[in-house]
Each structure stands twice: as C-alpha cells, then as structure tokens.
Amino acid sequence: MINSVEKLNERIATCTACLQDKLAGTDDKRHIVLCGGTGCLSNNSAEIRQRFIEVLKEKGVSDRATVNQVGCFGFCSQGPFVKIYPEDTLYRLVQIEDVEEIVESDIINNTVVERLLYEDPATGEKVSKQDDINFYKKQRRVALHGCGVINPENIDEALGYGAFQGLKRALSMSRQEVIDEVLASGLRGRGGAGFPSGRKWQFAYNSQSDEKYVVCNGDEGDPGAFMDRSILEGNPLAVIEGMMIAGYAIGAQNGYFYVRAEYPIAVNRLRIAIRQAKELGLLGKNILGTDFSFDCHLRLGAGAFVCGEETALLNSIEGKRGMPRPRPPFPAVKGLWGQPTIINNVETLACVPYILREGAQNFASVGTERSKGTKVFALGGKVNNVGLVEVPMGTTLRELIYDIGGGIPNGKKFKAIQTGGPSGGCLTEDFLDEPISATRAAASARPAGSVPSACWRF
C-alpha cells in the first residue's frame, strides 16, 4: 500500500529507474513496443505483438528482448507502429509477416530493416527516429503526456513517467492554492466552450455542501473526433489524477467518468487503472495519509450526441432521459443529484497533473495571450498525414495542414476545413494564417479565446 508521501516517493524512484533502464537500454535488453491504440489494434497490432513473443521464443532469444504495448503514437495513417528501444528505431505499416525480419535484424544482428522506416515524401530519405519525422517536429505533448511511451495497463510505468506527482504537490497545498495554480495556468476547458477551468472550480469550491462531485466528460460525440478516446487509451491515470486534483480542490469525494460505450478499449483501460490505483491505496480513504478521500466511478454513455452537453450528461448519469437542464442553476452550484459539481472534458483533466507537476508558469509559457497551453486535434479526411496531434495554441492552420498534416493528397488545392463536428464551422483559405484559437473564434462567432474545436476534416 502506498499510504504516505515517503512510500510514493520510493515507488516513483523504483519505477522511474526501471522505465529509464528500458528506454536507455541500461538493462542490456531490447524493448519492443507496439501501438495499442484503437487504430493500430484494428490493424492487427495485438496479433503482431503476439507474433513477436513467438518469434523471439522460436529463435531462442526471448531473454534478449521484452514486448510491450503502449498508447497511440499519433501518426495513425502509418500504423501499426513498432518501436525498438534503446535505439529508438520506429517502424511503420508493420505486418505480421515482417516480425521475423525485425527480430533477425534488430535483436540478433543489430541492424535495421530499412524498408519499414518512414520515408520523407519530400526528400525520399528514410527516417529512423520519431522526433525526426516532420509530423512530430512541431508537436508538444502535454495532454498526451505518456501516450505512446508507457503501457496504459501498468500503473508502475505511469508512476515511472510522472504519475501522481501533481497530486502529491496538490495535497501539500491548500485547496484555494490549487485553484489559484489552475487559474494562473490559464487553462480553459477543452470540451468546446473554453471556459476558464480555475473559475469553474472556484464556483464549486465556494458552493457549500457536504457532498460534491467531479464529472469527466468522455462522451466525445463529434464525428471523426478521437482525442479523448486516445488520451483515455494511452494514459488513463493522467485523467484519473486530474480528476482527483479537481476533487481535492473543490472538496469532492467522488468522481464519475462518463465515457461512450463505443470506446471499449478506453473503458477497459480506465477500469484497469482505477482498479490498480485502488489496490495501491492511491484511490480510496485517506490518500497518501492525508484526510483527502476520493473514489472514481464509471458510467457508460449509449452514444446520444446530446449527452455530451453537460447537463444532459448529468441527467444520463442519474438514469434520466438525456435532455439538457435549464441553466442557471449551473452545475457548479446544483449539479449531480442536486449537489455542486464540476464537469470537465477528458483533455482538460489530462492537462491538470502537468500544471501541478511542472507549475502554472511552465504551462502558461506556451500558447497565445488568451489561450494557454496546447491543443489536441484529430486530423482526418483529405490530408496526407491522418492522425492525432498536439500543438501549442497559436499554431496556424497552415502549419497544421502542411507541416504536420503533410498537405493535401495529390497536391490538390485547399478548399476548406470543417472543424468541431455538428457545432463547428468551415474555415476557408482566408483563415490559413490565423493562430488556431483566433481562427476558431472568428469562424464560429464564439468569444475570442474560446478553445478550437478539435476534430478537423478537410
């Protein structure tokens, strides 16, 4: 049981050393990791993983390498991905038939399978490392922290990669100090409305009640959107930790995840993460020996778009028909079962541990005057590089489409981009050089500073 800060520190130290050993190869082994996101799994990455285990055995080299799954690498159109540590070699579009060759080259002969490396379309050069691929160069991972690096079903890997350090710091602060930190970070909700998260938390903190709730909105109803799903699949503990920090800040003891049932992998990993955190005593009574107790519950949505709207979502959790409630009263005053409740989007909560761990100033050093931090986008449609990206707020559409997205197939001319599902709009060429947040505001007539809606179709 991890029931004190000292025990958490000890476990973190062990897990960090273990993960570093793997990534840096100081344990004298190769570590083969495969993308375990929905996209790659539907392209056989689980079977490919199994084949690696078999081939290593067949060739008598099982002791030379481990095989593991991680969350989404982001570059979905090039999956399934296989990465080999410590060389950091990234193979893309890997098939079951390629496994034997990879084991022969990377594990036995210390060479590389050139044909499976990413090829830069502009220069024709082969690129062996993820960071050297254009798709990744302008990205910065905050909400996607740990995705594509850790095994989302192993709490020790999460602990080795920063998990619970934000909560640890939060519990050493007063509730008001935690809210002030989130206010200072400039974090705005990533669910679409862009409301400042710290202000929402302050309202709930100010509401007097013995019972309060935190709700995580994982409904993600916009067609083509998969940001929240990927975060939950890649690092569910980050969202749990964000929820716990929010719970501590407002004085809640229970949190509800509302995730659509069409996301079975995300739901399963969330279940595993909650169970593992409970087993270690990181969820439950008197967390880290403090008087803060918190439990997480999971509710599955049946896929009604309207249930993404926060008050309809509350009705749905309560077992009622998913219809919006009139506001005011706002949920921060009267929410779940009539008690003060904050509802935050998955990506919003995933940013919270980072803010507490690295500090508000660090988070706020990225982005624009009114939109701080980064934003995750699901790029889909007629763009060369389809996938999940996270960029600093203020990145222009042009950078997103051409530098990261690789432009439009067959060099066709840009016509428009459709953002944010049914409630979004279409942006034409005139908006290509606008920083992302301002673009969204201009296109949708939402207030300046509102957060760009995050699924983009071309």
Ligand X SMILES: Cc1cc2nc3c(=O)[nH]c(=O)nc-3n(C[C@H](O)[C@H](O)[C@H](O)COP(=O)(O)O)c2cc1C
C-alpha closest to that of 371 among 446, 422, 423, 433? 446
Q: 236-250 and 227-234 helices cross at what angle (nearest 10)?
A: 100
Q: Give the nearest distance from C-beta 263 to ligand X in angstroms.
A: 12
Interface residues with ligand X (CB under 6 A)?
Answer: 189-193, 195, 217, 219-221, 306, 308-310, 343-345, 348
Q: Compare residues 345 and 439 and give the one whose CB is closer to ligand X.
A: 345
Q: Give the nearest distance from C-beta 377 to ligand X in angstroms.
A: 15
Instruction: For CA atoms 130, 131, 136, 141, give the dihedral sign.
Output: positive
Quote the DSSP letter at residue 79.
P
Q: Give the nearest distance from C-beta 421 to ligand X in angstroms.
A: 8
Q: Compare residues 36 and 186 and give the one whose CB is closer to ligand X.
A: 186
Q: Compare residues 133 and 343 and give the one whose CB is closer to ligand X.
A: 343
Q: Compare residues 40 and 296 and give the one whose CB is closer to ligand X.
A: 296
C-alpha closest to that of 5 among 281, 275, 277, 246? 281
Q: Give the nearest distance from C-beta 426 to ligand X in angstroms.
A: 18
Q: Compare residues 23 and 184 and give the one whose CB is closer to ligand X.
A: 184
Q: Compare residues 226 and 292 and give the one whose CB is closer to ligand X.
A: 226
State the burial class of residue 382 (Cβ atoms within 10 Å of its Cβ: 0-12, 13-18, 19+).
Answer: middle
Q: Give the nearest distance from C-beta 359 to ligand X in angstroms.
A: 21
Q: Give the nearest distance from C-beta 347 to ligand X in angstroms.
A: 8
Q: Compare residues 49 and 188 and give the one whose CB is closer to ligand X.
A: 188
State the DSSP string of 247-308. HHHHT-SEEEEEEETT-HHHHHHHHHHHHHHHHTTSSBSSGGGSS--BEEEEEEE---GGGG
How far apart are the C-alpha atoms of 129 and 343, rounded to whole Å? 39
Q: Give the nearest distance from C-beta 217 to ligand X in angstroms.
A: 4
Q: Give the nearest distance from C-beta 140 to ligand X in angstroms.
A: 20
Q: Compare residues 158 and 343 and give the one whose CB is closer to ligand X.
A: 343
Q: Compare residues 33 and 225 and give the one whose CB is closer to ligand X.
A: 225
Please identify which residue in the block is written with the tokens 């979004």.
Answer: 424
Q: Give the nearest distance from C-beta 451 to ligand X in angstroms.
A: 7
Contact status, residue 82 vs residue 33, Cβ threshold 8 Å: yes
SS3 per residue for 120-131: CCCCCCEECEHH
C-alpha closest to that of 238 among 294, 172, 162, 177? 162
* 388, β-bridge pairs: 378
Q: Give the nearest distance from C-beta 9 to ligand X in angstroms.
A: 31
* Sheet arrangement for strand 426-428: 387-392, 374-380, 455-457, 416-419, 426-428
Q: How far is CA 351 from CA 197, 217, 454, in A?
A: 11, 14, 15
Q: Compare residues 67 and 455 and give the one whose CB is closer to ligand X.
A: 455
C-alpha closest to that of 424 among 392, 398, 456? 456
